[in-house]
Structure 1
Amino acid sequence: MTLKIYQIDAFTDRVFSGNPAAVCPLDAWLDDTLMQQIAMENNLAETAFYVRRGGDYEIRWFTPTVEVDLCGHATLASAFVLFNYEGYGGDTIRFHSSRSGTLPVKREGEYLTLNFPTDVLEPAALTAELTAGFDIVPLAAYRGKTDYMLVFENEAQVRSVKPDLGRIAQLAARGVIITAAGNEVDFVSRFFGPQSGVDEDPVTGSAHTTLIPYWADKLRKDTLVAKQLSARGGWLQCRYLGDRVEISGQARRYLVGEIHVV
């Protein structure tokens, strides 16, 4: 069996930055074990697989070790592939996830805009278990559907904090978002998910379903600009819509190839 594969750098306007995702178009779903093996072999934060259903597309996402409920950058990468290389003719693609519902992606010039459900945050105690993963103590902690979010005093702390990945991996969560108000953007963040096979994710679109409602409330504005402070870095334009959020970014093709599975 031969499968087509794309590697796309998402949330960036140039290759070698943003977050790389693999995208595998399928005619029908493969066995779950095989998709997990492909994702492990790709060894990227996420590999997305999609199957056409009528005029829409079903989508699933795998890290090297687990299937995840939602992935922003790999959804953006999948839309980029469909719009530019797989012959999709419209300006809005409707993805469907059995775990996260309907996920439209709209094309506006070079920008693609994800429309995702808003996460619901609850305050969390700053326990020793939660703070042990970082060498700087955060100001506050929250818990969303899948992640913890820690709020720090300023951008410099988010940029310089040293994570203890072993301690973070012990937390019962997909991962940990850390964030602060930005110097030149509205807010900055980083994301650590060693328990999900991703030590530090370069640009985490799904984490912004948690970040956007928090910062929209704090800054009293619905339109925000965000930056993820990973080594590769990434920029996101964000809009708070109440029960939904919009996350916009660009993408660039790095690779087109074939997977050969015996």
Structure 2
Amino acid sequence: MRCWSPADSEIRLCGHGLLCCGAAWAAQDQAVSQLEMNGLRAAFHAEGDRFWIGLPTIGCAACPVPHWVKEFFPVPPWRAAEVGDHDGYLVLEWPEGFDLHSLPIPAYALRRRTARALIVTCRASPQSLADVQLRYFAPQHGVPEDTATGSAMRVLASYWMNRDLNDQLLAQQCSHYGGELYSRVRGELTWVGGRVLPAMVGDTHVS
């Protein structure tokens, strides 16, 4: 499968898209155990009302918080990590219970500073049912903010396990519409799961 951003840029890895595609096939009683996007294969299975994709576990490397971050966020994060190559991800962590909703969406000027998508995160407050919270920004790639980001959850599964959290997480994505994501690290595979609600059902005919 292939996915595009609203700015018509192809998305290298869209976990949300993979999850929804697998759920759509399952709804048609199709036996699907693997999905593929841009050469990356993902395992797939349904479990009750949740659907799961299994992606290769990815590593995170701690790094200093970049000096330019203060240009975009008035309250600075206290930790950072890089994931992947120069256009991979930059994880920024705020203290436990920090209100991620209060962070502004970075301007398109971010592309002058980094090609990495930003994953901002914190441990959830003790009163929350979630373990962690997150938001995802990639204006350089045509996505000012994503609603629910499976690829970011894959990254955070490794990041938070390195920070002494469980190998199973429930995350709240603090976007405008909100999202609830699950993860399980199982050796070489990181499973990302969630519920899928169909928005439209129809048939497409190509002549």
- Fold match (TM-score > 0.5): yes
Q: SS in structure 2 opposite 1:207?
A: helix
TM-score (norm 1): 0.70
Report if aligned partners of 1:174, 1:196 keep a CA contact under 8 Å in 2.
Answer: no
Report if aligned partners of 1:138, 1:151 keep a CA contact under 8 Å in 2.
Answer: yes
The yes-or-no answer on 1:80 pairing with 2:23 is yes
Partner in structure 2 of residue 96 of structure 1: 36
Query: Which is further off, 216-225 or 67-76?
Result: 216-225
Partner in structure 1 of residue 110 of structure 2: 168
User: Matches of residues 119-158 of structure 1 in structure 2 within 5 Å?
Assistant: 119-145=58-84, 146-158=88-100
Encode CA deviations 1:178-237: one digit per residue, 9 max, x unaligned: 000012111100001111111110111001121011112323421111110111111112
Q: SS in structure 2 opposite 1:106?
A: strand
Structure 1: gaps spanning 5 or more residues: 1-58
Report if aligned partners of 1:176, 1:192 keep a CA contact under 8 Å in 2.
Answer: yes
Q: Distance in 2 between matches of 1:233 and 1:137?
A: 23
Q: Distance in 2 between matches of 1:229 and 1:113?
A: 21
Q: Distance in 2 between matches of 1:260 and 1:124?
A: 50
**Distance 1:220-1:256 versus aligned 2 partners, 3 A rule:** closer
What is the letter of the counterpart of residue 83 of structure 1?
Answer: A
Partner in structure 2 of residue 234 of structure 1: 179
Report if aligned partners of 2:106, 2:137 keep a CA contact under 8 Å in 1.
Answer: no
Partner in structure 1 of residue 124 of structure 2: 182
For residue 252 of structure 1, report the CA deviation from its aligned partner: 0.8
Encode CA deviations 1:122-180: one digit per residue, 9 max, x unaligned: 22332222332212100011111211110111333322112332332333324100000
Report if aligned partners of 1:121, 1:144 keep a CA contact under 8 Å in 2.
Answer: yes
Query: Which is further off, 161-170 or 130-139?
Result: 161-170
Q: Distance in 1 between matches of 2:92 and 2:132?
A: 13
**Distance 1:107-1:138 versus aligned 2 partners, 3 A rule:** same
The yes-or-no answer on 1:215 pairing with 2:160 is yes
For residue 248 of structure 1, report the CA deviation from its aligned partner: 1.2
CA RMSD of aligned residues (A): 2.1
Q: Distance in 2 between matches of 1:84 and 1:259?
A: 16
Report if aligned partners of 2:51, 2:193 keep a CA contact under 8 Å in 1.
Answer: yes
Q: Distance in 2 between matches of 1:149 and 1:159?
A: 16
Q: Distance in 1 between matches of 2:133 and 2:165?
A: 17
Q: Distance in 1 between matches of 2:71 and 2:48?
A: 44
Q: SS in structure 2 opposite 1:62?
A: coil
Structure 2: gaps spanning 5 or more residues: none
What is the letter of the counterpart of residue 230 of structure 1?
Answer: S
**Distance 1:82-1:261 versus aligned 2 partners, 3 A rule:** closer
What is the letter of the counterpart of residue 242 of structure 1?
Answer: G
Partner in structure 2 of residue 109 of structure 1: 48
TM-score (norm 2): 0.87
Q: SS in structure 1 opposite 2:198?
A: strand
Q: SS in structure 1 opposite 2:151?
A: coil
What is the letter of the counterpart of residue 151 of structure 1?
Answer: E
